[in-house]
């Protein structure tokens, strides 16, 4: 297909149609610091294909890869090992090029994978059912909130603890300011939203939140951004809805996506679940077969009756998750969680031994916060210049760090010595 650039008149016609006076107005949500008005002019003039490859590789080499440097960044997206067999499986043509499985007679493989993914998520979360996946953890939280409002016929939710700021921002986009309530409010509450571990790495005890939700006659939504934590922490079976991000199993960080939102709940709410579900039945010969069922999506039923406007699921990402989880098995998944926790504990001990560093968390899984005597932003930038990705800067000289099974002792020593030299 030839590349046909837009003419000046084409652009003016589109701006007129959108009501934007110029291109900058069209991208008003992009901050000035990130907006480049002269992108084309900043690129080199006409070059050969080989020259373009050299230039683009030069740009790429300015990045520090998580696989080639001490890496301690978490905050909702995590660096884990992915077996080579996972990539091999998802690149098989029958999976990689498969279309939405509307015709079960020719899509049994894809449908079986979806069914197995749903079964795994239901088991991990201690819930009765799970859907075929959502776009990511943030949209899963938003869909959970909307579902709770439908179930309870109420229009307020409580964010009970430190919810991931990106999830919170997404939730605010889906809802109105009037939909958020304080813990002290006791009327018209549809759900209490609790993240565990929270954004600062602290695991939550579910029982107090279950009791509070029951007192308000509200649903309890448990949010999980690091799904590996479910291999060690108590299963959130007491929740009404468990949702979050499954990227840690089978999926690379990929500069922030595509990732894998998961969604599970009690069977009482089956017909209010967003997205699609895959079910198992018997064919005319009595053999197991798989079909899409209870599709309450706007593509399938009247728009005003749809539970959500999501019109797909993360099929290939769910396949990667399912393949990786199949390789791990129950014991392997628990061992992976144990490794993550042990690595984080080792890192915390090394950093706590540095004068001026204070580990904030009393409990954590693979992520925790430290307080520094200097700006965390300055520390991160100076360590980055040494090839060390030190974590996520927070307010008040606080630094969020993560260790996973791929974090080595040499990585920890490099961070500890680099940080000690700055203080």
Find the angle CA(334)-CA(337)-CA(342) to the nearest 5 degrees: 125
On whether both 271 and 334 belong to a single domain, the answer is no
- Per-residue pLDDT, 46: 77
- Per-residue pLDDT, 302: 61
Range of the domain at 172: 84-324
- Per-residue pLDDT, 63: 85
Q: For the chain, what is the domain count? A: 2
Pair 404, 263: CB distance under 8 Å: no
Pair 351, 414: CB distance under 8 Å: no
Q: How far is CA 213 from CA 33, 180, 229, 236, 305, in A?
A: 43, 15, 23, 14, 28
Q: Is the peptide bond between 26 and the residue preceding it cis, with omega within 30 degrees of 0?
A: no
- Per-residue pLDDT, 295: 67
On whether both 194 and 285 belong to a single domain, the answer is yes
- The residue behind tokens 């009037």 is 178
On whether both 77 and 88 belong to a single domain, the answer is no
- Per-residue pLDDT, 296: 57
As a whole number, the mean pLDDT across the chain is: 92
- Per-residue pLDDT, 374: 97
List pLDDT tens digits, range 91-117: 998 888 877 788 888 889 999 999 999
Q: Both tokens of residue 363? A: 């409990």
Strands 392-393 and 156-159: unpaired
Band of pLDDT at residue 1, cut at 50, 70 and 90? very low
Strands 189-195 and 156-159: parallel
- Per-residue pLDDT, 364: 98
Task: Kindly state whether residue 352 falls inside one of the protein's structural domains.
Answer: yes
- Per-residue pLDDT, 55: 87
- Per-residue pLDDT, 301: 58
Band of pLDDT at residue 64, cut at 50, 70 and 90? confident
> Does residue 103 or residue 121 have the better pLDDT?
121
Q: Taken in order 104, 105, 106, 108, is the CA torsion positive or negative?
A: positive
- Per-residue pLDDT, 74: 97
On whether both 74 and 111 belong to a single domain, the answer is no
- Per-residue pLDDT, 387: 94
Pair 125, 230: CB distance under 8 Å: yes
Last residue of a domain, one of 294, 324, 354: 324
On whether both 151 and 256 belong to a single domain, the answer is yes
Q: What is the CATH number of the domain that holds 344?
A: 3.90.1150.10
CA pair distance 120, 115, nearest whole angstrom: 9
Mean pLDDT in residue range 258-278: 94
Q: How far is CA 16 from CA 36, 37, 230, in A?
A: 22, 19, 51
CA pair distance 89, 107, nearest whole angstrom: 16
On whether both 389 and 362 belong to a single domain, the answer is yes
In the sheet with 156-159, reading across from the earlier edge strand, the strands are 129-130, 261-265, 241-245, 219-224, 189-195, 156-159, 180-181
Task: Kindly state whether residue 220 falls inside one of the protein's structural domains.
Answer: yes
> Quick check: helix, strand or coil at residue 130?
strand
Share of the chain above pLDDT 90, in %: 75
Q: What is the CATH number of the domain that holds 93?
A: 3.40.640.10
Contacts of 217 (CB under 8 A, 6+ apart): 152, 189
* Strands in 188-304 per DSSP E: 189-195, 219-224, 241-245, 261-265, 277-282, 288-293
Mean pLDDT in residue range 16-25: 90
Whether residue 180 has pLDDT greater than 90 = yes
Q: How many CB atoms lie within 10 A of CB 259?
A: 23
List pLDDT tens digits, range 310-346: 777 899 999 999 999 999 999 999 999 999 999 999 9
On whether both 339 and 298 belong to a single domain, the answer is no
Find the angle CA(160)-CA(397)-CA(137) to the nearest 5 degrees: 40
On whether both 118 and 173 belong to a single domain, the answer is yes
Task: Kindly state whether residue 28 falls inside one of the protein's structural domains.
Answer: no
Q: How many CB atoms lie within 10 A of CB 298?
A: 16
Task: Kindly state whether residue 41 falls inside one of the protein's structural domains.
Answer: no
List pLDDT tens digits, range 82-91: 999 999 999 9
Mean pLDDT in residue range 129-158: 96
Whether residue 62 has pLDDT greater than 80 = yes
User: DSSP string of 411-423?
Assistant: HHHHHHHHHHHH-
Task: Kindly state whether residue 281 falls inside one of the protein's structural domains.
Answer: yes
Contacts of 175 (CB under 8 A, 6+ apart): 142, 145, 146, 157
Task: Kindly state whether residue 24 falls inside one of the protein's structural domains.
Answer: no
- Per-residue pLDDT, 247: 98
List pLDDT tens digits, range 208-251: 999 999 999 999 999 999 999 999 999 999 999 999 999 999 99
Q: What is the CA radius of gyration of the chain?
A: 24
HSE-CB at 342 with a 13 A cutoff on CA atoms is: 10
- Per-residue pLDDT, 41: 62
Last residue of a domain, one of 324, 350, 378: 324
CA pair distance 256, 71, nearest whole angstrom: 16
């Amino acid at each position: 297909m030839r590349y046909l650039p837009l003419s000046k008149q084409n652009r003016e016609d589109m701006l007129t149609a959108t009501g934007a006076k110029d291109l900058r107005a069209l991208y008003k949500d992009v901050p000035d610091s990130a907006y480049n008005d002269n992108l084309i002019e900043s690129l080199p003039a006409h070059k050969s294909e080989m020259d373009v490859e050299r230039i683009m590789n030069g740009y790429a080499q300015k990045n520090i890869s998580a696989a080639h440097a001490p890496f301690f960044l978490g905050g909702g997206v995590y660096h884990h090992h992915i077996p080579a067999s996972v990539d091999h499986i998802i690149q098989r043509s029958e999976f990689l090029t498969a279309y939405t499985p509307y015709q079960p007679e020719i899509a049994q493989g894809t449908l079986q994978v979806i069914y197995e993914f749903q079964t795994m998520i239901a088991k991990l979360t201690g819930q009765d059912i799970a859907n075929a996946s959502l776009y990511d953890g943030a949209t899963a939280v938003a869909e959970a909130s909307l579902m709770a409002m439908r179930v309870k016929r109420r229009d307020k939710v409580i964010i009970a603890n430190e919810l991931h700021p990106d999830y919170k921002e997404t939730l605010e986009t889906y809802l109105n300011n009037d939909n958020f309530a304080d813990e002290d409010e006791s009327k018209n509450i549809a759900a209490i939203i609790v993240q565990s571990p929270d954004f600062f790495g602290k695991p939550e005890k579910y029982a107090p939140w279950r009791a509070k939700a029951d007192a308000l006659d509200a649903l309890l939504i448990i949010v999980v951004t690091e799904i590996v934590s479910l291999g060690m922490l108590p299963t959130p079976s007491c929740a009404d809805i468990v949702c979050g991000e499954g990227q840690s199993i089978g999926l690379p960080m990929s500069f922030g996506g595509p990732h894998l939102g998961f969604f599970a709940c009690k069977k009482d709410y089956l017909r209010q679940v967003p997205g699609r579900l895959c079910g198992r039945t018997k064919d005319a010969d009595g053999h197991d077969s798989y079909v899409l069922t209870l599709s309450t999506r706007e593509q399938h039923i009247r728009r005003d009756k749809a539970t959500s406007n999501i019109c797909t699921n993360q099929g290939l990402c769910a396949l990667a998750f399912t393949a990786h989880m199949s390789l791990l098995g129950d014991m392997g998944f628990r061992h992976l969680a144990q490794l993550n926790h042990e690595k984080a504990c080792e890192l915390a001990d090394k950093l706590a031994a540095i004068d001026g560093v204070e580990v904030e968390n009393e409990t954590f899984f693979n992520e925790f916060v430290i307080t520094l005597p200097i700006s965390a932003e300055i520390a991160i930038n100076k360590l980055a210049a040494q090839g060390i990705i030190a974590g996520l800067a927070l307010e008040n000289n606080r630094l969020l760090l993560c260790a996973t099974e791929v974090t080595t002792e040499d990585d920890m020593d490099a961070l500890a010595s680099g940080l000690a030299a700055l203080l």
